[in-house]
Chains A and B, each alone.
Chain A
Amino acid sequence: MELLAFGDTGWGDELFYATLMTIAVAITAMIIGFFFAIIFTPLKLSKNKFLNLIANSYTTVIRGVPELLVIYLFFFGGSAAIMFVASIFGYGEYIEINAFMTGAFSIGIISGAYSTEVFRGAIQSIDKGQFEAANVLGLSKFGKFFKIILPQTLRLALPNLSNVWQITLKDTSLISVTGLVEIMRQSYVAAGSTRDPLFFYSFAAVLYLLLTFLSMKLINRLEAKYSRGY
């Protein structure tokens, strides 16, 4: 237990902050993923073949390529890409993006591909009658989407989105390769300096189990909330 003491003697406080970092990265990545899903879901459902192709290549490539490879692409290529864009606007200096943004962005892109599929499935499984009824009521396009389709989509999508959240949460462990101090990285450091890898990696496993367990509880409550009336 000494190893987990808070303060200078143990790793308790370091691991606590690392856990907060993991949660922060996972939530940021999930939100970035939602942005991608908001862009790509309409493209997937569009009747335009070209837009379909763009959305399909995004989800196929991201879901078919290992997460680690995507992270390496952004880790090694991220600042070069941003510097290239900046140079177009006449800014020639070196830009470094921090590990948090690289990590959250790469996990976010991955998470977004899964979210897109979830939203597509949810919207497609909404009864046609709902769309027709909304049309009959003379609702505007926005009213139709926000008042009729979206609330039902959320209910149908929640169980699958909870899977996406679990995947995203576990994927954050891969960001440790970029040096961002989250649970995995902190355990690696602690294991190295105390020569007790078994203890620290097992403790990391416990932390992840705790996070997945707590988020499951939370999501179940959300599901109950959105399913009221069914």
Chain B
Amino acid sequence: MDFELMISSFPKLLNAAIVTLKLLSVSLIIGLFIGLLFAILRLNKNVFVNKFAYGYSYLFRGTPLLVQIFIIYFGLGQIEYLRSTFLWVILKEPYWCAIIAFALNTGAYTSEILRSAFQTIKPGIIEAGKSLGISNKIIFYKIQIPIAIRQSLPAYGNEIILMMKGTSLASTVTLMDLTGVAKYIISTTFRPVEVFIVAGGIYLFMTFVIHNLIKFLEKKYSFNS
């Protein structure tokens, strides 16, 4: 055990963890909006809209995240037309490519989580709203969405942790996140176990914090308190 290396690499890895958290939070926020949008589309009665939303979630859940990042980072740059538009400013940056891939990926999973939450809302609750003379729009925004979000908290907590692990793939497109820096230190010092313990410890700590945060939220917004 090389404790000196563990101590000296700790600040470097901690700095890299900030990159990981940034990638995670930005993609989760964008992904939540995408997820909500597609969950609503899934509930639409129009078959075409419905199938489109299903296709999106099937495509992104059925392929590895690595393929998605590579298509966006290496693939899209190949389209000449894109290079001449303003989109190129975003797409030439590995940082934004990674975020687009992460957001689309977590959006697909989130849409499934929210869809099943919408579907498990008891019809009686919506009927109660209707009998009180509340408009459909208000019922949707003030009753259905809050209940769905509460229902999906445990599953969404898992998704946050999965996404946090997913951000490690940013290291494959040259970004120096926690895994990227860990790999760099391992390949220069050939001390995989020590670096794994430190980097893994930081990841576990983040998992622990997220897990407890979700638990706290679940308790706070529980129905039968």
Contacts and interface: CB of A to CB of B under 8 A. Distances in A.
A204 B196 CA distance: 30
Nearest to B71: A201
A209 B59 contact: yes
A80 B204 CA distance: 25
Chain B contact-residue range equals 35 or more
A101 interface: no
A184 to B, nearest CB: 6
Interface centre among B63, B74, B172 (most CB of A within 10 A): B63
Interface in A51-77: 60-61, 63-69, 72-73, 75-77
Given A197-B78, A198-B71, A205-B67, A68 B193 contact: no
A173 interface: yes
| Interface of A: prevailing SS | helix
Nearest to B196: A73
A13 interface: no
B151 to A, nearest CB: 20
Interface in A162-190: 170-171, 173-174, 176-177, 184, 187-188
B87 to A, nearest CB: 15
A173 B67 contact: yes
A191 interface: yes
Interface string B172-200: 10000001001100110010110010011
A197 B179 contact: no
A132 interface: no
A197 B74 CA distance: 6
A170 B63 CA distance: 7
Nearest to B210: A64
Contact of A212 (B62, B68, B169): B62
A68 B169 contact: yes
B75 interface: yes
Nearest to B208: A64
A68 to B, nearest CB: 4
- Sort A-B residue pairs by CB-CB distance and give the 9 closest, nearest first: A66-B168, A198-B75, A77-B192, A173-B64, A197-B74, A64-B207, A76-B192, A170-B64, A66-B165
17 contacts: A61-B200, A61-B204, A64-B208, A66-B165, A66-B203, A174-B64, A176-B66, A184-B66, A197-B75, A198-B71, A198-B74, A198-B78, A201-B74, A202-B75, A205-B63, A208-B64, A208-B67
